[in-house]
Amino acid sequence: MKLSDTKMIVTGGAQGMGRHFAIRLAEAGGTVAVGDVLEEGLASLAKESESLPGTIHTRRLDVSSEESVGAFVDWAFDAMGGLTGLVNNAGILRDGLLVKKDRNTGEIIKMSAAQWQAVIDVNLTGATFMARDVVAKMVEKDQKGVLVNMSSVARYGNRGQSNYSAAKAALAANTKTWALEFSRFGIRVGAIAPGMIETPMTQGMNQKARDALVAAIPVGRIGEPEDIWRAVQFIIECDYFNARTIDVDGGMAF
């Protein structure tokens, strides 16, 4: 698929990687519907994209809400005059050890149900709702295309990320599952597993933890959104790529 022919939804597109993907698609002449809960970011993205060859439409989207997802997909199809796929990018972090012992008091502290569920609701259930409703709309309207899921190298397991690792591992597994299910409709599914990427999410990290992570990256630097965009572009453009997850992590070893 040519980038100029795309009519893509990008979730979590008000900032970070999602914003970068949306701009890159519009720079190539594509049409993009961007959703996020961050309405100020959506407004600034719409303004920034006014002079680009393609078009970016924006609307508030909460992927953890089934109602919000359904309404957004219907709106996006109408706004773009069609739908060729999805970049399933929205995600959050609520890191913490599953069980820890307070060094001073000896108190046993467990990851809360809310801390677990918030990440599952957005990173897994929300991504699944988006894939389901986008594909249903594409099939209904006889549209072919591609889904790009954002997994993570944390899917292999990472200390302090039981919730995040579980969601991202499931999303990588479902990339294969959905590819098998959707191939009959002419819809491919691929995934990208970024390592540590320079985004507002990682910029808020503790400096000591950040430095330790960078030291574990053989290329010696944090990734940039453009590094991940190149993988997104490959999946969209390569019609023979399907059902696989690409690690883009600088060779990071946990």
CA distance 143 to 172: 24
Strands (E) in 30-84, as ranges, are 31-36, 55-60
User: In the chain, what is the straight-line distance between the N-terminal and C-terminal CA atoms, in Å?
Assistant: 35
Q: Is 164 labeled as catalytic in the residue annotation? A: yes
- Among the listed residues 42, 43, 26, 31, the one whose alpha carbon sits nearest the alpha carbon of residue 7: 31
Catalytic one of 21, 116, 129, 164: 164
Q: Is 76 exposed, middle or buried (0-12, 13-18, 19+ CB in 10 A)?
A: buried
Q: Are strands 108-110 and 99-101 parallel, antiparallel or unpaired?
A: antiparallel
Query: Are residues 202 and 228 in contact, defined by beta-carbon separation less than 8 angstroms?
Result: no
Structure tokens at 196: 């540590």
What radius of gyration do the chain's Cα atoms show? 18
CA distances from 68 to 31, 44, 171, 222, 231 (A): 21, 21, 20, 34, 28
Active centre residues (catalytic): 164
